[in-house]
Structure 1
Amino acid sequence: MTDAEPAVADRAALADERETGLRASRVSRMIGGRLILDGVTVAPRTGETIGLLGPNGSGKSTLLRLLSGVLTPSSGVVTLDGLPLARTARRSAARRVAAVEQNAHTQTELTVRDVVALGRIPHRRAWAPMSAADLAAVAAALERAGLTDLADRSWHTLSGGERQRAQIARALAQEPTELLLDEPTNHLDIQYQLDLMELVAGLPVTTVIAMHDLNLAAMYCDRLVVLRGGRVVTEGTPDAVLTPSLIGEVYGVRAEVDAGPGYPVIRFLR
């Protein structure tokens, strides 16, 4: 090997410096012969909260499933620290990437604490008991999600909003560096929506979150990616993206956008 040829380890280190975290590069996905996503790129910066916006059927949930590794791209690539996610060991990826989908169901009789403890599976050996670190992570996640008092309740007795908060807590117990959320504020009262978004935006993780509420997205997201028909229409800061013309083009509604306290405020018109 000559001086001009860096060692494999050196090349990997250089790649990590150039590209860290989770990203999708020109990903497309065909489902049932239909193109659901078409050449989408999402490259979150470390610690950033990105909001995925767009009407139903625009491809937001599919993009999140590609980022989580549940689906594989028909073309393009999803990478974690510059390496294809598909070639990353599942346990290693699961320690880094946590996903919360819109609806979660189980027929098993579990307590809220049991559900949250599922987030520790990637950190434990098979059949190994919970360690002190596992128990501490579960307790911290329950507290962050405001579920400590419900920890011993049956999952099946929870309301829809409480179940969603339990799933958030399960993801937090995973202690991820990358968090993927699909409509996490669904079924939540307004106060819980605000509390949840405050929690998510304040976490020391990189977050990609699919949303319908434009005002919540404006308040809590650092950057927005707007999808329509499986393609990216635009991306940028909430101030740059959420304009009356963009809202009219993508959602087909009239709106006024005013300057709020550090973020735009959208008012829809009849």
Structure 2
Amino acid sequence: MGPARQDTTTTNKPQAITDTGLRAERVSRTAGGSLIVDGITLAPRPGTVVGLLGPNGSGKSTLLRLLAGVLAPTAGVVTLDGRPLRDLGRREVARRTAVVEQQSDTQVDLTVRDVVRLGRVPHRRAWSPATAEDERAVDEALARTDLTNRADQPWHTLSGGERQRTHIARALAQSPRELLLDEPTNHLDIHHQLDLLHLVASLPLTTVVALHDLNLAAMFCDEVLILNNGRAHAYGTPTEVLTEKLIAEVYGVRAVVTREEGYPSVRFVRR
């Protein structure tokens, strides 16, 4: 299990404005005439894990794509060290920020090492061979994710948990400072969910992760941002934010929230 998180912020307390790291300032995104993300500000503290929580359709994945520069905001701005993403090249952003999607697959016959090597693409010129530095980064990423003994194994033979760890290894091979993950525990059993999030929480990176499971967020996130209908509903530590009242407001369900091992534990009540 992950370590208990220390309470450091207040629910709905405005975040400190900083020009360092990844930051979204009052970002909105409209698609098909609908407002998907509505005026959200997020400035994760360096080295922390921030969880994005909320019901389906609340804007979690869209906000992650805005942070990654995959989508451009309709209003507001996303910055890296004070520089708008729109002013930075895709390669420069990819050298700093790594993304792990919900599920990624390939029809190409690749080994685990081949997949992890893809993380070095932003650091290399087109058609140039891998350097010794590239191979060191790949080896370190494989070791960090406990995949060294799987390096030469075909990708398609891996389990779901091993595939997700491989994608995190690919992200680590980018040598990023920020890591963005969209529902990384989907389709994994409990053991692999805990194993994967323990790995994520142990990384020396600033991490933003979209999650459905409130208990996993409570265990592994330093802070959480609750989204509801595209808006920021609450922000703070899991202990401050994950209350019975908020769960009823946002999710429309009854829950009993207790505190165990330093973080809240949510038990849902049958109707």
Give the TM-score normalised by the residue count of structure 2: 0.90
- One-letter amino acid matched to 1:214: L
Identity %: 67
Query: Runs of at least 4 residues of structure 1 off by over 4 A?
Result: none
1:11 match: none
- Structure 2: state its 5+ residue gaps: 1-16
Q: Any conservation in 2 of the 1:47–1:206 contact (CA below 8 Å)?
A: yes
Report how far residue 27 of structure 1 moved: 0.7
- One-letter amino acid matched to 2:261: P
The 2-side partners of 1:40 and 1:126 are apart by 37
**Which structure has greater helix proportion?**
1
The 1-side partners of 2:188 and 2:141 are apart by 18
2:244 match: 244
Q: Any conservation in 2 of the 1:98–1:178 contact (CA below 8 Å)?
A: yes
Residues 1:110 and 2:121 are matched in the alignment:
no
1:170 match: 170
The 1-side partners of 2:44 and 2:258 are apart by 27
Report how far residue 179 of structure 1 moved: 0.4
* Cα distance, 1:18–1:255 mapped onto 2, change above 3 Å: closer
Higher mean alpha-carbon deviation, 243-252 vs 154-163, is at: 154-163
- Structure 1: state its 5+ residue gaps: 1-16
The 1-side partners of 2:56 and 2:18 are apart by 34
Residues 1:125 and 2:125 are matched in the alignment:
yes
Report how far residue 122 of structure 1 moved: 1.2
- One-letter amino acid matched to 2:122: P
Larger Rg: 1
1:88 match: 88
Q: Any conservation in 1 of the 2:18–2:43 contact (CA below 8 Å)?
A: no
Superposed CA offset, 1:181-207 (max 9, x none)? 001111222222112111111111100
The 2-side partners of 1:199 and 1:39 are apart by 32
Provide the aligned C-alpha RMSD in A.
1.4
Residues 1:233 and 2:233 are matched in the alignment:
yes
Report how far residue 18 of structure 1 moved: 4.1
Report how far residue 56 of structure 1 moved: 0.7
Give the TM-score normalised by the residue count of structure 1: 0.90
Report how far residue 106 of structure 1 moved: 2.0
- Tell me which of the two structures has the higher relative contact order, counting C-alpha pairs closer than 8 angstroms and 6 or more residues apart: 2
The 2-side partners of 1:18 and 1:28 are apart by 20
